[in-house]
Chains A and B, each alone.
Chain A
Amino acid sequence: MTAVVHVTAVPDDTLEQVSVLALSGELDYTNAERFRHDLHEAVGPEPRDLVIDLTDLSFCDSTGIQVFLAVRKLVHDRGCGIALANPHHRLERLFHLTGLTQAFGIRPTVAEAVESLRSRRSPLQ
């Protein structure tokens, strides 16, 4: 059984202008292209802030990181923000070593990731 990654949109009416996608499975070289396609499909054409819930993604390698970088660029080019939530310690390690922890605005929970994007839009008075 080869690795798969499932991309699931998390419906939440309270999240104005923020999309939340939950990932599960293992992301690696063998499924990164498929994942790239599924992720772009799930992100859609609308300019919205994006939170990716990594709670159930148990593995990611350097090819997976490339997909995250590509979607980060897509979201930024639309003038929106991206934040990643609750990465597995393996992923946290990878983001740290590749120097991308800051670039992805990694937060411990989905709620904090959403909040970080909101506060970016409406800075404290």
Chain B
Amino acid sequence: MTGDHGQQWPIDDDLSALRDRLLRHATLAGMRGTRLDDLLIAVNEAVINVLEHGGGQGTVSVWHDDVRITVDIVDTVGHLTPHDVPRQRPAGTVRGFGLWLMSQLCDEFTIHQASGGSRVRLRMCLNPVPALQGRRTEGS
């Protein structure tokens, strides 16, 4: 097991610093390229939701093991539910884009609502899609 004990940061309006920390952690976990960007965009959208609709306070927790990296974004209001996620790309309005993006960008996206807060969990596999390995071999 090459995982870690994880890290947790409070949510504030310094999104740039938060993105830097996440990038560092995810890079150490082995993430690169588009999938790293996808995780970054998704986590940023989840944090925006907390700032805009989730009471403005909460935490971001990140940890990984051999298989995947997990990021939990928790607010203190608990209004967000799985029903808020649009099934299709929102048209004509940007509202709901954030949740829809999260659903498209990550390997796993779940919302758990409880009285003390809502938790968005975003997960990426660290060694995804065995089919890609075949393609990589072809190219080498």
Contact = CB atoms under 8 A, between A and B. Distances in A.
A43 interface: no
A89 B101 contact: no
Interface residues of A, number: 21
Interface stretch (B15-23, B61-69, B71-79, B107-115): B15-23
Given A69-B94, A89-B34, A29 B41 contact: no
A28 interface: yes
B105 interface: yes
Interface string B29-69: 00000100110110011001001100000000000000000
B106 to A, nearest CB: 12
A4 to B, nearest CB: 9
A2 B58 CA distance: 18
Contacts of B101: 62, 94, 97-98
Interface residues of B, number: 23
Nearest to A94: B41
A99 B89 contact: yes
B98 A62 contact: yes
Interface string A84-95: 000001100110
A2 B14 CA distance: 5
A3 B37 CA distance: 17
A35 interface: no
A68 B34 CA distance: 23
A65 interface: yes
